C-alpha cells in the first residue's frame, strides 16, 4: 500500500492549493479525482465556464458598446451555442493544462478514481472499471466540493428542465427561460442570457436579489436587469411544473399564477458532495446539505482530517476555497499561515458586475457606528465616458470622526478588480484622506476612489468658522 504524508480528495481550487502547499513544504502528496479531468466545478462546470461564457456574450452581442453606438449595435447577429462554446472550451482546456502541469511540477501524485474512507488514515480509491486500490496517509484533506441542490419533486430531464451544471451542455440557446433562485448563480446566468436577447423570468422566494449586497447597488442592478429583459418575481415560489405537448414548460407560481418558457432552470443553492466518502467509517457526520463542520484551522472532528472549500459551506467561493486549502496544509505541517476572514471580497458577475468588501450601511447602522458616504458615478469619470459605462458607481463608507474606510461597494465595468484598492486600504486601516492625497492615473476607473472620497468629505458638516 502506498503511503503519503498528505492525501487530498478532490482537484478543485481547494484541493489543488492544499496539495501544492504541502508539496512546497517537502511532503509526499497524493491527490484523488473521480472525474477524468482535474479542476473540479471551478474549471469544468462553474466559475471558469460561466465567466468565459459571460465574456463571449458581452463580446459577440456588442453589449458593452451599445451606450455609444446605439441599442441596436451587434458584433454578430445570430449568435449560436457553438460561438459561445468556442471561447469557453478554449479557456477550460488551457486551465486544465495549467493545473495538471502544477501537479506534475510539484511532484504531486495524481490518483484517478472515487475515494472513500476505510479508516481515519486509509482511503480506498475505486476506479471507473470497478477495481480499487488503498492508500494510507498521516493527514487527509477532504476537498470534494458541491453539487446543485435538486428538489425531489422537480421532473429534471437534462434538456428542458435542468440544473445549473446542465446549462452549459444545452445544444441550443434557450428561446426563453424561467430561472428559479435569484442567488449568485441565478442572477449571473439571468443577466448573461438576457444580454443575448433571451426573455428571462427570474423567481426568488426572498423579497429581493442577493440580500447580502448593499441595497442601493441591488436597486441599480435590478433596474438594469429589467431594462435588458429580465422579469423579476420576488416572494415567489413554484407550485407545479408541467411539460406540455407544445414543448413549453408550464409553471404555476404561488402568487403570480401560470407562466411558461422553453427551459426551466433550478439555481437554488448547492449541497456538499460527501455521499461517496463513507464518512461513517471515521465518525464524521455531514449536515442535511452534505456539509462537514470544521474549526478555525479547517480540522474536522478528527484532528488529522481537514475539510476545505464548498464542502464546508459558506462562503463557498473559488477564491476562499484556495485560501482554505493552503491554510489547512500549513496547519497540518506546522507552517505559519493565517486568513483575513474580515475582509473577504465578493465579486458577482452579473451584467453589470458588482463587488464589495467590508461593511454595508445596514451593518453599520445596527452597530451604531457613525458613518459617512461618498459616491462616484462612472458617468462623471472620464474613463466611464470613454468605455461607455454611464450607470456604474463606487460607494465608500467611512467612519465620520476618524475617516477610516469601513466598506466599499461597486457596480459597473471592472468593479470586481476595482474593489481590491479599497480592500488594501482597509487592511492597513487607512482613511479616505489617502484617496484625496494620492495621485491616480488618468483617465482610469480608479479615479472613482478620489472622487468618492472628496464627495464623502464634502457631505460632512463644515467646522464652524467665526466671521471676522
Ligand X SMILES: Cc1cc2nc3c(=O)[nH]c(=O)nc-3n(C[C@H](O)[C@H](O)[C@H](O)COP(=O)(O)OP(=O)(O)OC[C@H]3O[C@@H](n4cnc5c(N)ncnc54)[C@H](O)[C@@H]3O)c2cc1C
Ligand Y SMILES: NC(=O)c1ccc[n+]([C@@H]2O[C@H](COP(=O)([O-])OP(=O)(O)OC[C@H]3O[C@@H](n4cnc5c(N)ncnc54)[C@H](O)[C@@H]3O)[C@@H](O)[C@H]2O)c1
> Known binding site: residues?
51, 181-188, 269, 310
Separation between Cα atoms, residue 342 and residue 421, nearest integer Å: 16
- Coil, helix or strand at residue 335: coil
String of contacts with ligand X for each residue 274-303, x by CB under 6 A: --xx--------------------------
Separation between Cα atoms, residue 225 and residue 211, nearest integer Å: 16
Separation between Cα atoms, residue 17 and residue 168, nearest integer Å: 26
Q: How many residues bind ligand X (CB under 6 A)?
A: 38
Separation between Cα atoms, residue 10 and residue 16, nearest integer Å: 8
For 362, other C-beta atoms within 10 Å of its C-beta total 12
Separation between Cα atoms, residue 445 and residue 418, nearest integer Å: 8
Q: How far is the CB of 8 from ligand Y (least distance, A)?
A: 21
Separation between Cα atoms, residue 132 and residue 149, nearest integer Å: 29
Q: How far is the CB of 355 from ligand X (least distance, A)?
A: 11
Separation between Cα atoms, residue 302 and residue 284, nearest integer Å: 8
* 164, 191, 300, 350: residue in contact with ligand X (rule CB under 6 A): 164
Q: How far is the CB of 51 from ligand Y (least distance, A)?
A: 8
Q: Which three cell numbers stand for residue 136?
A: 494510507
Residue nearest to ligand Y (CB): 183
Residues that bind ligand Y (CB under 6 A): 180-186, 188, 203-206, 237, 267-270, 315-317, 347-349
* 20, 57, 185, 221: residue in contact with ligand X (rule CB under 6 A): 185
- Of 24-83, binders to ligand X (CB under 6 A) are 32-35, 40-42, 46-47, 50-51
Q: Do the Cβ atoms of 263 and 174 come closer than 8 Å?
A: yes
Q: How far is the CB of 41 from ligand Y (least distance, A)?
A: 9
Q: How far is the CB of 165 from ligand X (least distance, A)?
A: 7
Which residue number, 7 or 396, has a Cβ lying nearer to ligand X?
A: 7
Does 187 bind ligand X (CB under 6 A)? Our answer is: no
Q: Which residue has the cell 444580454?
A: 195
Specify binding-site residues for FAD.
51, 310
- Looking at the DSSP bridge assignments, the partners of residue 4 are 137
Q: How far is the CB of 148 from ligand Y (least distance, A)?
A: 7
Of these partners, ligand Y, ligand X, none, which one is at the site of residue 323 (CB under 5 to 8 Å by kind)?
none
Does 352 bind ligand X (CB under 6 A)? Our answer is: no
Separation between Cα atoms, residue 88 and residue 311, nearest integer Å: 26
- Coil, helix or strand at residue 454: helix
User: Which range, of 216-224, 287-295, 309-317, 447-455, touches ligand X by CB under 6 A?
Assistant: 309-317
Of these partners, ligand X, ligand Y, none, which one is at the site of residue 29 (CB under 5 to 8 Å by kind)?
none
Which residue number, 319 or 444, has a Cβ lying nearer to ligand Y?
A: 319
Q: Which of 235, 239, 167, 171 is nearest to 204 (CA)?
A: 235
Which residue number, 32 or 202, has a Cβ lying nearer to ligand X?
A: 32
Separation between Cα atoms, residue 192 and residue 61, nearest integer Å: 10
- Of 224-283, binders to ligand X (CB under 6 A) are 273, 276-277
Of these partners, ligand X, ligand Y, none, which one is at the site of residue 183 (CB under 5 to 8 Å by kind)?
ligand Y
What DSSP string runs through 230-276? Answer: EEEE-S--EEEEEE-TTSPEEEEETTTEEEEESEEEE-S-EEE--TT
What are the residues binding ligand X (CB under 6 A)? 9-15, 32-35, 40-42, 46-47, 50-51, 114-115, 143-146, 164, 185, 273, 276-277, 309-311, 316-319, 321, 349
Amino acid at each position: 500500500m502506498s503511503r503519503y504524508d498528505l492525501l487530498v480528495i478532490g482537484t478543485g481550487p481547494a484541493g489543488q492549493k492544499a496539495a501544492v502547499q504541502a508539496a512546497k513544504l517537502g511532503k509526499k502528496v497524493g491527490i484523488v479525482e473521480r472525474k477524468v479531468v482535474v479542476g473540479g466545478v471551478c474549471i469544468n462546470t462553474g466559475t471558469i465556464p460561466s465567466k468565459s461564457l459571460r465574456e463571449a456574450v458581452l463580446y459577440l452581442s456588442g453589449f458593452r458598446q451599445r451606450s455609444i453606438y446605439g441599442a441596436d449595435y451587434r458584433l454578430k447577429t445570430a449568435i449560436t451555442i457553438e460561438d459561445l462554446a468556442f471561447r469557453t472550451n478554449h479557456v477550460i482546456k488551457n486551465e486544465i493544462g495549467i493545473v495538471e502541469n502544477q501537479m506534475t511540477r510539484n511532484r504531486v501524485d495524481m490518483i484517478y478514481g472515487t475515494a472513500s474512507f476505510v479508516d481515519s488514515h486509509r482511503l480506498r480509491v475505486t476506479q471507473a472499471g470497478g477495481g480499487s486500490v488503498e492508500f494510507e496517509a498521516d493527514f487527509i484533506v477532504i476537498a470534494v466540493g458541491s453539487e446543485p441542490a435538486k428538489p425531489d419533486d422537480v421532473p429534471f430531464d437534462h434538456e428542458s428542465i435542468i440544473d445549473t451544471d446542465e446549462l452549459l451542455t444545452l445544444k441550443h440557446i434557450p428561446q426563453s427561460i424561467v430561472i428559479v433562485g435569484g442567488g449568485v448563480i441565478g442572477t449571473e446566468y439571468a443577466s448573461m442570457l438576457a444580454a443575448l436577447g433571451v426573455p428571462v423570468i427570474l423567481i426568488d422566494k426572498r423579497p429581493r436579489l442577493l440580500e447580502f449586497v448593499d441595497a442601493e447597488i441591488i436597486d441599480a442592478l435590478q433596474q438594469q436587469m429589467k431594462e435588458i429583459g429580465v422579469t423579476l418575481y420576488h416572494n415567489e415560489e413554484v407550485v407545479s411544473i408541467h411539460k406540455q405537448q407544445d414543448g413549453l414548460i408550464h409553471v404555476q407560481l404561488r402568487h403570480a399564477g401560470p407562466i411558461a418558457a422553453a427551459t426551466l432552470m433550478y439555481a437554488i443553492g448547492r449541497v456538499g458532495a460527501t455521499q461517496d466518502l463513507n464518512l461513517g467509517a471515521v465518525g464524521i457526520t455531514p449536515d442535511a446539505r452534505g456539509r462537514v463542520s470544521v474549526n478555525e484551522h479547517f480540522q474536522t472532528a478528527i484532528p488529522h482530517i481537514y475539510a476545505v472549500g464548498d464542502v464546508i459551506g459558506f462562503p463557498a467561493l473559488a477564491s476562499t476555497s484556495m485560501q482554505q486549502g493552503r491554510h489547512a496544509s500549513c496547519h497540518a505541517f506546522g507552517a505559519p499561515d493565517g486568513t483575513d476572514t474580515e475582509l473577504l471580497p465578493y465579486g458577482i458577475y452579473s451584467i453589470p458586475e458588482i463587488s464589495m468588501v467590508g461593511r454595508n450601511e445596514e451593518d453599520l447602522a445596527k452597530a451604531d457606528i457613525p458613518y459617512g458616504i461618498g459616491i462616484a458615478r462612472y458617468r462623471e469619470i472620464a474613463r466611464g465616458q470613454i468605455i461607455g459605462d454611464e450607470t456604474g458607481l463606487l460607494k465608500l463608507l467611512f467612519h465620520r470622526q476618524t475617516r477610516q474606510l469601513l466598506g466599499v461597494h461597486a457596480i459597473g465595468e471592472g468593479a470586481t478588480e476595482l474593489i481590491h484598492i479599497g480592500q488594501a486600504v482597509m487592511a492597513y486601516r487607512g482613511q479616505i484622506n489617502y484617496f484625496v492625497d494620492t495621485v491616480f492615473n488618468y483617465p482610469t476607473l480608479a479615479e472613482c476612489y478620489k472622487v468618492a472620497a472628496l464627495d464623502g468629505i464634502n457631505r460632512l458638516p463644515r467646522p464652524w468658522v467665526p466671521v471676522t
